[in-house]
Amino acid sequence: MTELRHMFGAMRRDEGEPLDGPPSLARVERLAQRARDAGLPVEVVVEGEPDALPPGVDLAAYRVVQEALTNAYKHAGPAHARVHIRYEPHELLLEVSDDGVGAGTAGDLGVTDAFDVAQNISGGAKYLAQLLKDFNGNTQLATAAYNAGEAAVQKYGGVPPYDETQVYVQRVEQLRDRYHKAL
């Protein structure tokens, strides 16, 4: 984990790397190279003319790519990742995919267009329903598998010790309890 935090760390810079402002999509190739150096082959595709993005949007987009590459490195097994950035008038579209262990899941759940919100919501709901079935209705394990992957839950025999997953499972439980009480 320490190595991952160093490679993909939010505020860290490598020795000799200039401190030239906050992370941004203009530096996504540098991020991809760090992933490549760690052993994850990454292809970066940029379509359209990059617009000047508001700083918050630019930083958030960079963080999405950073998190996706980190997850591919941690959970996809032997994989190749692809970062697709598409600039359109007044719109930025990001897609980060990999061909690792879970690569077939989206297609199996009817998600053929990563930019289609309805397909993503439907696919996510189907996936969560399948996980609930696979884990005999255990919402903790199902939400942990949704966040960290089924293999991680099986590897650790329960909720994996990843901080992100621990927080995610706790937050989903809190929301479930709140909504259940409201009914």
What are the tokens at 81? 């990742």
41/97 Cα distance (integer angstroms): 12
- Do residues 152 and 142 touch, judged by C-beta distance below 8 A? no
Question: If you average pLDDT over residues 26-31, what whole number do you get?
Answer: 93
pLDDT at 39 over 50: yes
pLDDT value of position 120: 83
pLDDT value of position 138: 96
- Do residues 120 and 97 touch, judged by C-beta distance below 8 A? no
Q: Is residue 23 part of a domain?
A: yes
Q: Is 92 left (phi over 0), alpha (psi -120 to 50) or beta?
A: beta
How many domains does the chain contain in total? Answer: 1
Q: Is residue 5 part of a domain?
A: yes
Q: Is residue 117 part of a domain?
A: no
10/62 Cα distance (integer angstroms): 10
Question: If you average pLDDT over residues 90-99, what whole number do you get?
Answer: 88
pLDDT at 4 over 60: no
Q: Is residue 20 part of a domain?
A: yes
The pLDDT tens digits for 119-171 are 888 988 998 999 999 999 999 999 999 888 888 898 899 999 988 899 999 99
pLDDT confidence tier of residue 85, bands split at 50, 70 and 90: very high
Q: Where are the beta strands (DSSP E) in the chain?
A: 42-47, 81-88, 91-98
pLDDT confidence tier of residue 101, bands split at 50, 70 and 90: low
Q: Which residue has better confidence, 9 or 70? A: 70
Range of the domain at 12: 1-101
pLDDT value of position 107: 73
Q: Is residue 157 part of a domain?
A: no
Q: Is residue 54 part of a domain?
A: yes
Share of the chain above pLDDT 90, in %: 46
pLDDT confidence tier of residue 181, bands split at 50, 70 and 90: very high
pTM comes to: 0.53
Residue 75: closest CA among 133, 140, 150: 150
Domain of residue 51, CATH code: 3.30.565.10
Q: Is residue 59 part of a domain?
A: yes
